[in-house]
Chain A
Amino acid sequence: AQKITQTQPGMFVQEKEAVTLDCTYDTSDQSYGLFWYKQPSSGEMIFLIYQGSYDEQNATEGRYSLNFQKARKSANLVISASQLGDSAMYFCAMRGLDSNYQLIWGAGTKLIIKP
């Protein structure tokens, strides 16, 4: 069965610093997708970045990048130059054939950016 582990329940980061949010996963699928979503206090899930299991390059989307280490089953999110508006819950998720394409979620990391 697929599983996502986020080991950091919460993090405090100084504004303008870079931050890395950890995510490890477990799956028997050869083809799968890894996602990061941001959930501000308003509740909406906002898509940040996607990495496919066969993608050779790490995904990047603006200030977000995904440090994908397939052999270690790791998909860490890196936010460069953090901003106050980055304060939110961050969820790592995965989907693949093993889960009938439903998203399997990690427990999330609460990120607080300090001014």
Chain B
Amino acid sequence: KAGVTQTPRYLIKTRGQQVTLSCSPISGHRSVSWYQQTPGQGLQFLFEYFSETQRNKGNFPGRFSGRQFSNSRSEMNVSTLELGDSALYLCASSQRDSTNEKLFFGSGTQLSVL
């Protein structure tokens, strides 16, 4: 069974540009969540999608958005990039939401904003 796939692995953008990151979950998993990881703030929850619906959203500005397609693949978009958006963006998938459901993570997309 293939794991969670994130593309691209690395991205370099300049301030003001926009970027789209992609995540393909494990087959059969309907929940996809996104996390931002920075040295200063650690791991922070961005949002979660389940069956194409956003179910949870973290405390991020509206420049961060996402969507999920009918095949459970998810994309995350950041518009008007700022230097502080430089981070590792991790995608995770699971079958459902529950306290004992473990999340499977992809290798992440390392975004650098210059």
Contacts and interface: CB of A to CB of B under 8 A. Distances in A.
Interface of A: 29, 31-33, 35, 37, 42-47, 50, 52-53, 91, 95-97, 100-108
B75 interface: no
A103 B103 contact: yes
Contact of A43 (B42, B97, B98, B108): B108
A64 B33 CA distance: 26
B92 interface: yes
- Please classify how large the interface on chain B is, using the bins under 10, 10 to 19, 20 to 34, 35 or more: 20 to 34
B56 A33 contact: no
B99 A52 contact: yes
Contacts of A105: 35, 42-43
A31 B110 contact: no
Contact of A101 (B88, B98, B106, B107): B98
Interface string B90-103: 10100001111111
